Structure 1
């Protein structure tokens, strides 16, 4: 699977530099948060339309892709360190969300779980 391959590439990159000592869950979450902030910064003052077309500008596309890659690299490292099976976690979360957000109550609506009718 591609995720496993990427995890191994990241782990190898880290090991070759002796950085394992710095990759605690806390540090990785902090780094991940910082990278999400850098990605957010690219969109911060754009209009909704500008955000939709940001990838049309080659320079902006490169910046967005690099920040997304940074976010994903830290996330891959975190799930590796915490020994999370990402596929299982995503599948479980999607099942839970399917129960929490019934199609007939949410279709075409951006609503919070707390705003829905519950049995």
Structure 2
């Protein structure tokens, strides 16, 4: 996925509709949470097993919500001039330090519990 191309496309989309005036970081982050909640709604009340065995229609709806979440993440990063690739690489390095594989393998604790 080329996030720079996606961000440029989303930027043009907003500009063509004069929506940039609404795309403050606050508003975009709020919209992101709404979309994340809509994603979560598809899994609410499902068992672990059922959540892994979605029918075609449900899987398509979940894919749409994942796309909405990604769109808002890309738009937020663009508005704030954050390089997503760099941010992810920095965060992964941080996570590797917080969660060394030899200490956390097979465990689901927060990093502060491994000290």
TM range (shorter): over 0.9
Question: Runs of 4+ in structure 1 displaced over 2 angstroms?
Answer: none
Listed as ranges, the gaps of 5+ residues in structure 2 are: none
User: What is the rounded CA distance, in whole Å, between the counterparts of 1:96 and 1:65 in structure 2?
Assistant: 29
Deviations 1:36-78 (A, max 9, x none): 0000000011100011111xx1211111011001111111100
What is the TM-score with the length of structure 1 in the denominator? 0.93
User: What is the rounded CA distance, in whole Å, between the counterparts of 1:48 and 1:92 in structure 2?
Assistant: 31
Select which of 56, 64, 67 maps to 2:65.
Answer: 67
Counterparts of residues 63-102 of structure 1 (less than 5 Å): 63-102=61-100
Partner of 1:47: 47
Partner of 2:12: 12
Superposition RMSD in Å: 1.0
Q: Which one has the bigger helix percentage?
A: 1
